Chain A
Amino acid sequence: MSDLLQHAFNGLVNGSFYALLALGLAVIFGMLGVVNFAHGAFFMLGAFGAFILLNEAGVSFWIALLVVPLALGVVGMLLERLLVRRLVALDPLYNFLLTFGLTLIFQDLLRMKYGSQPQPYPQPAGLRGTVDLGLFDFPAYQVFVLVFSVLVSVGAWLLLARTRVGMIIRAATERPELTRAMGIDVGRWISPVFGFGIALAALSGVLAAPMRAVSPLMGADLIILVFAVVVIGGLGSIFGSVAAGFLIGMLQALGNVYVPGLATTSVFILMAVVLLWRPAGLFGREETAV
């Protein structure tokens, strides 16, 4: 029993990365209709940001956790202004291809500088041991990651659900034309929302650095899993993306216990089932034509 709990816990921790990445993808997609392939690359850049700050300037994990997402968020806004915006009026596939190309560039630049060998990043001082939560001892850092991502998800939810800005973003995400027709200037929120989505990816990257080794390819395979997550959850739905993220983390972990051979493929099997049963995703709306 406690074994099962342990696996479920690990699944939730992994799921929290999926959730944060899927959340960022969903708000960007909703606002711009762009699927950002470079989301995984920004996750990787977040981890590298923390790694470089620590090794070059001795900056601690806690400061990196604040600074790196902010800096990469600004990079994201510039990216939106300079490149993404030029293609928004065209078929969304062009921006998919653009961000794919950027992913290759980011990955190769870091590989040329740091090599493809994974680099270790030490766990922050206060979080090295384990925490006794009654049932058994949990690794402290993992507990922190889980709590922190749940807080960020809830925070993002509060921001979206309880503030005026959030109301505009939600409206623009789910019914862009109607929002415009209501006289709301959707355009001025596009850059900040893009930056916000990128900052979330960078934040999960910083969080991942002490748990997984830092390497140029760490975001690449992850982002494809997250694509499956958002197909399952329904990309148009912000809640759906987060819920599917945690759900799939759990599914993978429990799948690992019961059918170890299927651990990596379970997500894709679930995606196939969802496509058959509810093509628009578990929490998604039916698409209107194309």
Chain B
Amino acid sequence: MTVMVVRKLAGLPLLWRVLAVVGGLLVALALPWYIYPPVAMDIVAWALFAVALDLLLGFTGLLSFGHAAFWGSAAYTAGTIAIETGLPFPVAVLGGSVVAMVLAVPIALLAVRRTGIYFAMVTLAFAQMVYFVANQWSGVTGGENGLQGIPKELFGLDLSDPFYFYYAGLPIALVGLLIAWRVVHSPFGRVLVAIRENPARSRSLGFPVDRYKVMIFVISAGLSGLAGGLYAISHGFASLQEVYWTTSGKVVIMTVLGGIGTLWGSVIGAAVIVQVEDYVATSGINIGPLEITGPGLITGLIFVGVVLLFRRGVWGTVAHLLRRRRSVPDAEPHLSGTTAPAVEQEPAVAPKS
């Protein structure tokens, strides 16, 4: 069924695209009727975070393993603004996003001096530095206790019910997704793909490769900040977990599971991981005598399984099957522009939250 729907989408008629966008929006709007509303909000926030990471990983070929720094610093900033000033929460979220972008500038300028696996290690290390700072700076971040009691203020409306807060927060995430989509489908986005495919040739064509990388890094950090701020407001607290390296890893696996370089695949990846972790945390899974209580083991198994057996991801696999039907050649997805052309496709579907 899904295959058929997507096949028609890939066939490009405008009507189908419009229908897909409308369908995606309907799913997003209906979500809290089917899923526990706070979890629905988590899915939306993580989806935006994963899409932001895919801008770097999928479309520029840079694996950032330190995006928790931006998600987390925005969570703390949004929380602090909301607590201290009582401004409407979208302003707090936006403030968080701005701080994340400011933080991203020096990190990006340093990190783009290395590529490939070194880029991953450098971003991971700088994110760990942000973690240490957050841990020490307990006057602002609350240290081990975190930042608690973040209000959900919006012109005096009562948003304490997560069901209503979902509809207040959703537009922010949709704006973020729209920005990501615009970036990918702009001349700027085409240059990014060229850089991923062949940095040397892009440079020789006159594109300032490092400056492009820094710009997309900052954009990606800004969108991650939007997501992180939303997440903190939704939960009413921000903790050290937000800046810890496991958070960076979690968003990477969402993007890989959904399909690297497919943009909307990340949304699916986020939805799957958030729900699996929620299920494990609330119900637990028993495998023989082993009672699995924490999400780490499951996430780890998904990580290993996807990397070994399912590198195209959900969206990438569907796209691959369609392309094979129409006998269009394609190749394994790849990360840093060293091998075959990637599964580069025209994302034609609305955010499917």
Contacts and interface: CB of A to CB of B under 8 A. Distances in A.
A103 interface: yes
B30 to A, nearest CB: 33
A276 B133 CA distance: 22
Interface in A29-56: 35
A79 to B, nearest CB: 11
A235 interface: yes
A261 B304 contact: no
Interface stretch (A65-73, A106-114, A130-138, A146-154): A106-114
> What DSSP secondary structure best describes chain A's contact surface?
helix
A188 interface: no
Contacts, number: 141
Interface stretch (A3-11, A86-94, A167-175): A86-94
B311 interface: yes
| Chain B interface extent, by class | 35 or more
Interface in A258-290: 261, 264-265, 267-268, 271-272, 275-276, 279, 287, 289-290
> What DSSP secondary structure best describes chain B's contact surface?
helix
A235 B292 CA distance: 37
B265 to A, nearest CB: 16
Contact of B200 (A83, A276, A289): A289
Contacts of A87: 307-308
Nearest to B296: A108
Contacts of A86: 308
A112 B297 contact: yes
B338 interface: yes
B321 interface: no
A287 B335 contact: no
B212 interface: no
Contact of A104 (B106, B125, B296): B296
Interface of B: 63, 65, 106, 110-111, 113-118, 120-122, 124-126, 128-129, 132-133, 136, 199-200, 245-246, 249, 252-253, 256, 290-294, 296-297, 299-304, 307-308, 311, 332, 334-339
Given A112-B293, A231-B114, 7 more contacts: A35-B120, A87-B308, A93-B336, A104-B299, A104-B300, A107-B296, A275-B110
Interface of A: 35, 83, 86-87, 90-94, 96-98, 100-105, 107-109, 111-112, 220-221, 224-225, 227-228, 230-231, 235, 261, 264-265, 267-268, 271-272, 275-276, 279, 287, 289-290
